[in-house]
Amino acid sequence: MTVKIIDGKKIASQFFDKIKAEVSVMKNKPGIAIVKVGNDPASEIYINNKLKKAAELGFYVERFNLDEKSTLGEILKVVDKLNQNNKIHGFIVQLPLPTHIDEKLIMGGILPQKDVDGFTPLSMGNLAIGNNLMIPATAKGCLELIKSTGQKISGKNAVIVGRSNIVGKPLALLLLQENATVTICHSKTRNLVKYTQNADILVAAVGKSKLITADMVKKGSIVIDVGINKVGSKIIGDVDFENVKDVAGYITPVPGGVGPMTIAMLLENTLKASKLPRSHY
Ligand code: NAD
């Protein structure tokens, strides 16, 4: 069996086309804002990509740049202004935040109906009970990529390496909803290979280049690489793509896999938020 490369760029562009068509006939355009705190260079690229695409699709966009030394109160003030801004239907505070800021307190301040990242306690709780209002974009993007293979998810062994609140945990909940048997591995997992070798669906969301090698992958499996690692001037994933592609049945490339889907799902969430009445929460 030859490996099928899952073309995230192409799949994302189908979502973008659909969103653009819908926005073009809306009188009140969906509004999105992104708050950046500090000077993380990677965040700068992600924010630009998100807002550029949003503007391209006809969204109203705003951006806020706060100083690295901003206090919790100063950030929450901006969050509150956005909560009240009628032109903004959804906004995100780009992570990571400077270490002196408690991320949970910021997430807790975002109005749930504007939480298009899906990271607030209410959104995460809703997801846990199968009430999928705002699903974290990267996790949702991974699920769409898995579904794009046309393979049945129900009953399959899905192994997620990485247990972060933004990727690993929400994706585990989504795959559980799809009736996969889900295992979450993490930095303290002993004998990682024992789990990954049994995975019909393997998702790597760690941030360690080439952590997943060919010997760790089950033949014919679906491999989704969330990792973004800068090695020299190149961006590579958590999966040793060149060798794993000889074993897997389906695999996402980095770049051009999960990344574009994250943006597509974020904008899909924002479009959804612009149409939801408050009574949904
Ligand atoms: P994180 O640092 O919050 O979590 C990493 C996880 O990996 C942790 O749960 C940790 O326990 C686990 N881990 C660390 N070392 C491990 C090891 N040796 N074996 C097994 N597990 C190990 O990271 P995150 O925010 O979830 O992001 C993960 C990666 O995905 C990063 O490279 C990030 O840049 C990337 N990412 C990509 C997108 C995208 O749109 N493509 C979006 C979000 C994150």
Centre of ligand 1 from the C-alpha of residue 254, in Å: 14
Question: What does the pLDDT look like over 16-46, one tens digit per residue?
Answer: 999 999 999 999 999 999 999 999 999 999 9
Residue owning the nearest CA to atom 1 of ligand 1: 164
Pocket flag, ligand 1, residue 138 (CB < 6 Å): yes
Q: Which structure tokens are listed for 148?
A: 């794009």
| Ligand 1 site-directed mutation target among 206, 225, 228, most atoms within 8 Å of CB | 206
Regions in the chain scoring below 50 on pLDDT: none
pLDDT at 277: 75
Q: Which residues are catalytic?
A: 50, 94, 117
What's the CA-to-centroid distance between 153 and ligand 1, angstroms?
A: 23
pLDDT of the residue at 281: 52
Q: How remote is the CA of residue 204 from the centroid of ligand 1, in Å?
A: 8
Asked if residues 178 and 143 have their Cβ atoms less than 8 Å apart, the reply is: yes
User: How far apart (Å, rounded) are the C-alpha atoms in residues 39 and 46?
Assistant: 12
- pLDDT (0 to 100) of residue 101: 97
Tens of pLDDT, residue by residue over 143-189, are 999 999 999 999 999 999 999 999 999 999 999 999 999 999 999 99
Dist. CA 173–CA 170, nearest whole Å: 5
Ligand 1, closest atom to CA 258? 41
Q: Which two tokens stand for residue 71?
A: 């206090």
Q: Measuring from atom 24 of ligand 1, which residue has the nearest CA?
A: 164
Neighbours of 166 (CB within 10 A): 20
50 lines ligand 1 (CB under 6 A): no
**Helices 41-56 and 8-24 meet at what angle, rounded to 10?**
50
**Cβ–Cβ under 8 Å, residues 205 and 227:** yes
CB distance 209 to 237 below 8 Å: yes
The alpha carbon of 186 and the centre of ligand 1 are apart by a number of angstroms equal to: 9
Q: What is the pLDDT of residue 280?
A: 52
Please give the helix or strand (H or E) that residue 90 lies within, else none: strand 90-93
| Number of Cβ within a 10 Å radius of residue 191 | 9
Contact 227, 237 (CB under 8 A): yes
